[in-house]
Structure 1
Amino acid sequence: MTNPIGVHALVWAGDTSAPSVRRVVAETAAAGYDLVEFSLHDSLNLDTGETRRELERAGLGVACSRGLAFDADVSSDDPAVVSRGAALLRDSLRVTHELGGTVLTGALYSALGKYGAPLTPAGRANVVSVLTELAGEAARLGMTLGLEICNRYETNVINTARDALRLADDIGADNVFVHLDTYHMNIEEDDLVRPVYQVGDRLGYVHIGENHRGYLGSGHLDFGAFFHALADIRYGGPITFESFSSAVVSAGLTGDLAIWRNLWSDGADLARHARAFIAGQLAASDPRQS
């Protein structure tokens, strides 16, 4: 497999100001990655033209991700709240396209936070309606949308691979894929293997994160089994390392993601270790080596 190996920009910087973007791009390239993922929570400060030029000069690919907000939530029953969420998604698609990216993924279907009640039928219908329209717009731009499966404390819309497949089926668009994240899978799935087989060729993006979101291999996740499952389904898409520290992430996101303790302080060391770890797992699961 020749999977692009990516790293989340929040390993390096908590915002997308011009100096931060220059640092993100330079550090990502220096650590040997193929791709950088930008969270669009700070997109108002992002100079898309200059960022695209920086990425092209460094020879890096780009993907974008985001979650919504409770006052701009497409899973709401309130039409005004849904409308604001839909506008945020359209803007995020535009930003991703301007950066030269073809992948917009994340919790595109809800706010990122703990809900106090289950998703309503009306709320789910709103998700399907908005994402069906967004998928059509993305298709016209040659882009794909990812449904990142998040845990129950961050969304009430999709928490398992089966949930995501049902939602993707209801959207019914060929350019909507499933996005697995080992951190969330550890909370919600029975193991790290069966969801990979369930999703199969509808898998379009992968986040690699430890059970505590620290250094890869320092927790209890069975990454060997996960990477062998990816090899079995011949997954060739991006594999992006994701980890957060409140030393880097903004105060708002620190609260949203519940980063109450720091498991690392040196982003460069963390990223180099993760790059080597992922490459090692890919090599070990390569059937040509057996």
Structure 2
Amino acid sequence: MLIGAHALVFSGTFDRPGLQHSIEGTKHAGFDLIEIPLMDVTSFDSALAARMLQDNDLAVTASLGLTADTDLTSEDPAIVAAGEDMLERCLDHVATMGGDVLCGVIYSAMRKYMAPTTARGVRHAQAAIGRLAEKAAQRGIRLSLEVVNRYESNVFNTGRGALDFIAGIDREDVSVHLDTYHMNIEESDLFQPVHDVAAAGRLGYVHIGESHRGYLGTGSVDFGSFFRALHDVHYSGPIVFESFSSAVVSEELSNTLGIWRNLWQDSDDLAAHANRFIRDGLHAVRTIDSH
């Protein structure tokens, strides 16, 4: 099991200085892995990132959220094709960096929709994800689809919803990406969804985030139940801390993510605390076996 941090905890840009700061910050905080958001697929230097990752002995995954121009659930085939093309380029970056996961909102635009999905749009996304999963597998990469709240996608907002969507894809290697921040909004609890997704053999990636995106343990997320569920199902995949502050990310991204108030200023302190919190929580539930 690798414990990681999202690169946006440290930097809002991923040129040479941004990569260096986020990778070195992640390593210094004690994490095993960094998740790098592919915010600018065209200019991102994955070869440079690979060298920095090797120098710091860090594993890597990558993520992104699609836009209206690359939305796989669009009824416009040209937009779906643009999204599929961009995700193929993302796979190239992941492979160059030596990563094995591309995750996030890679099935629809990450935005507030003003209407439900259409059956045709969902079929477009399922077909595109199926094709991308095959190309990913050829590179030793798997896709994990993040379950986000109703204000960031209209395709699915719960673990069971994600399973229904994946059932329409004829592949066994597409997994579900659970995130405690979104689960805290949409799920009835943080225990049963882990069991549901794991029982289907689809739990592939986990984000740890507090209800207000700040320091872990200072909001309303029931981390005790979540960690116990992960232990119950013998989850061994990546667990990645995610938090945002406009002290780090750009104004544009802050507005997209709804960061209207900052709960932290010091990336290093926040990350070191999160690393301890996650590892301590996982250790605590492991001791239950000896009770």
The TM-score, its normalising length taken from structure 1, stands at: 0.97
Query: SS state of the match for residue 265, structure 1?
Result: coil
- 1:207 deviation in Å? 0.2
Candidates 171, 174, 177, aligned match of 1:173: 171
Query: SS state of the match for residue 62, structure 1?
Result: strand
Query: SS state of the match for residue 41, structure 2?
Result: helix
1:197-236 equivalent positions in 2, closer than 5 A: 197-200=195-198, 201-236=201-236
1:112·1:256 contact (CA, 8 Å) conserved in 2? no
Letter in 2 for 1:213: R
- Which runs of no fewer than 5 residues in structure 2 stay unpaired? none
Are positions 1:142 and 2:137 aligned together? no
- 1:55 deviation in Å? 0.4
Residues 191-211 of structure 1 show CA distances to partners (whole Å, capped at 9, x for unaligned) of 101100100132111000001
- 1:221 deviation in Å? 1.2
Matches of 1:19 and 1:149, distance apart in 2: 31
Query: SS state of the match for residue 171, structure 1?
Result: coil
Provide the alpha-carbon RMSD of the alignment: 1.0
Aligned to 2:50: 52
Aligned to 2:124: 126
> Which runs of structure 1 show a deviation greater than 4 angstroms over 4 or more consecutive aligned residues?
none
Aligned to 1:97: 95
2:4·2:240 contact (CA, 8 Å) conserved in 1? yes
Candidates 80, 83, 107, aligned match of 1:82: 80
- 1:12 deviation in Å? 0.3
Matches of 2:70 and 2:148, distance apart in 1: 18
Matches of 2:254 and 2:179, distance apart in 1: 19
Query: SS state of the match for residue 127, structure 1?
Result: helix
Q: What is the aligned residue count?
A: 288
Query: SS state of the match for residue 59, structure 1?
Result: coil
Matches of 1:28 and 1:221, distance apart in 2: 23
Matches of 1:70 and 1:196, distance apart in 2: 30
Percent of aligned pairs with the same residue? Answer: 49
The TM-score, its normalising length taken from structure 2, stands at: 0.97
Candidates 4, 8, 26, aligned match of 1:6: 4
87-96 or 236-245, which deviates more: 87-96
Matches of 2:88 and 2:122, distance apart in 1: 19
Query: SS state of the match for residue 34, structure 2?
Result: strand
- 1:109 deviation in Å? 0.5
- Which runs of no fewer than 5 residues in structure 1 stay unpaired? none
